[in-house]
């Protein structure tokens, strides 16, 4: 890791005002928010590189997987002002379900555009033991990859490093550290993590 | 349809008591109606703020609608606008920023609040093809209705901030499991009372 946790938290504070909620009147005039929006400008200039990387990723895998597809989760980064979401490019490689319980299985990829790190994790949809209203299944994510996922993670990592030189994976023991005093990633105070602040509002 | 009174009702019934409020009226849920399902939650749909709701109850029948008749949030609340054109490479992006109103009649007095969301999705996906603004609005309203019911009924009372956060998370969850490959994203803009 190029940065310590303390340094990463300082970077978070440069993009998220401390002690201020996103719906407070002056939030969008704070230097931190404006800095976050400005970071989207250089990111959008790399949108073509991102799409090309996803295309290469798609081409690497057998036809059966190609039918399932590689998904671009950041079409809004084609231009800086299309959305305010995220501090990263997001994508997913859909894989076959591993058993009859899984209705969906994918590897999700996040590549930050505010720090030189990426994260790859497993995501699947499994049924709940007991349904509640329309809630009968839920997505689950895991940083512990199963043996069948490892080769795909290797391929994704190769493409990311080739496209974004100098980037490293950010491990979960760093990314899941709570950042005090800020609201990032659509969370509440005391819930915002380094991942949520420096990567995606998904978390 | 037999109407019920909140007085002496069971907890289960109370959880369903928060009804669609139309022009200041709140119809009580039918005890034996279909109100326990999706859309039966304490939802206050409309075309915007409280002042924008229709001047008369939205019912064509003689009797007031139970919550089971409520169709949930209107798709008209989700006015999608293109923020990034589909250039054939990036698939484009469209967003709607609805303010959704909620009422929880399980509390005394009834609690009212709103959540303003930013709902975004592509203009096209590989799996689903073209995503029209109309389809985006219909789908978002269905997801919001289900999410509202799921979240509201999962706790006996809510703080506004916690509800809006949970509501946003639930919409993202429902989009993910119910509309695979769509890539829709829901962001919480603000919450208020």
Flag whether residue A48 sits within 8 Å of chain B, measured between CB atoms: yes
Between residues 4 and 33 of chain B, which touch chain A (CB distance below 8 Å)? none
The tokens for A45 are 């200039």
User: Which residue, chain included where needed, has tokens 């929006």?
Assistant: A37
Cross-chain Cβ contact A201/B154 below 8 Å: no
In angstroms, the separation between the Cα of residue A117 and the nearest Cα of chain B is: 22
Give percent of chain B above pLDDT 90.
Answer: 45
Q: Which helix (H) or strand (E) holds A42?
A: helix A40-45
Supply the pLDDT for residue B78.
Answer: 97
Supply the pLDDT for residue A125.
Answer: 86
For residue B161, what are the contacts with CB-CB under 8 A and spacing of at least 6? A188, B191
Tell me the chain B residues in contact with residue A81 when contact means C-beta distances shorter than 8 Å: 83
Flag whether residue B81 sits within 8 Å of chain A, measured between CB atoms: no
Sign for the CA dihedral angle at B73, B75, B81, B82 comes to: positive
pLDDT, tens digit, 9 for 90 and up, residues A152-187: 999 999 999 999 999 999 999 999 999 999 988 777
Integer Cα distance of B95 and B99 in angstroms = 13
User: Which residue, chain included where needed, has tokens 């555009």?
Assistant: A113
Q: Locate the chain A residue with the closest alpha carbon to B160.
A: A188
Cross-chain Cβ contact B122/A132 below 8 Å: no
Flag whether residue A83 sits within 8 Å of chain B, measured between CB atoms: yes
Supply the pLDDT for residue B3.
Answer: 32
Q: What is the ipTM of this complex?
A: 0.86
pLDDT, tens digit, 9 for 90 and up, residues A3-35: 999 999 999 999 999 998 888 889 999 999 999
Supply the pLDDT for residue A134.
Answer: 66
pLDDT, tens digit, 9 for 90 and up, residues A52-107: 999 999 888 866 554 557 889 999 999 999 999 999 999 999 888 888 888 888 99
pLDDT score of B60 more than 80: no
In angstroms, the separation between the Cα of residue A26 and the nearest Cα of chain B is: 13
Integer Cα distance of A105 and A97 in angstroms = 5
Flag whether residue B127 sits within 8 Å of chain A, measured between CB atoms: yes
């Amino acid at each position: 890791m190029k940065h310590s946790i303390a340094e990463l938290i300082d970077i978070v504070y440069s993009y998220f005002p401390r002690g201020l909620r996103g719906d407070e009147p002056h939030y969008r005039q704070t230097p931190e928010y404006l800095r976050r929006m400005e970071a989207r400008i250089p990111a959008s200039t790399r949108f073509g590189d991102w799409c090309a990387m996803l295309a290469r990723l798609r081409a690497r895998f057998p036809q059966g997987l190609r039918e399932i597809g590689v998904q671009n989760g950041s079409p809004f980064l084609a231009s800086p002002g299309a959305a305010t979401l995220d501090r990263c490019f997001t994508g997913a490689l859909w894989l076959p379900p591993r058993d009859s319980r899984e209705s969906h299985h994918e590897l999700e990829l996040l590549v930050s555009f505010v720090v030189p790190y990426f994260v790859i994790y497993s995501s699947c949809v499994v049924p709940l033991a007991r349904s509640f209203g329309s809630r009968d299944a839920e997505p689950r994510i895991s940083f512990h990859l199963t043996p069948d996922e490892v080769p795909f993670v290797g391929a994704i990592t190769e493409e990311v490093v080739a496209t974004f030189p100098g980037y490293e994976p950010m491990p979960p023991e760093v990314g899941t550290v709570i950042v005090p005093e800020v609201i990032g990633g659509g969370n509440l105070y005391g819930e915002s993590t380094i991942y949520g602040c420096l990567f995606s509002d998904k978390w | 349809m037999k109407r019920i009174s909140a007085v002496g009702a069971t907890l289960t019934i109370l959880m369903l008591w928060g009804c669609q409020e139309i022009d200041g009226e709140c119809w009580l849920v039918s005890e034996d109606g279909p109100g326990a399902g999706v859309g039966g939650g304490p939802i206050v749909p409309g075309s915007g703020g409280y002042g924008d709701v229709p001047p008369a109850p939205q019912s064509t029948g003689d009797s007031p609608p139970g919550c089971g008749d409520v169709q949930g949030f209107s798709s008209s609340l989700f006015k999608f606008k293109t923020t990034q054109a589909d250039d054939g490479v990036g698939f484009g992006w469209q967003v709607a920023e609805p303010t959704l109103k909620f009422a929880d009649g399980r509390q005394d007095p009834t609690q009212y609040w709103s959540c303003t969301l930013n709902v975004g999705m592509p203009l096209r996906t590989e799996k689903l093809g073209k995503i029209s603004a109309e389809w985006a609005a219909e789908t978002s309203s269905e997801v919001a209705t289900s999410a509202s019911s799921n979240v509201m009924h999962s706790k006996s009372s809510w703080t506004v901030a916690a509800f809006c956060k949970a509501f946003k998370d639930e919409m993202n969850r429902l989009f993910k499991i119910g509309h695979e490959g769509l890539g829709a994203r829901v962001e919480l803009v603000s919450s208020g009372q």
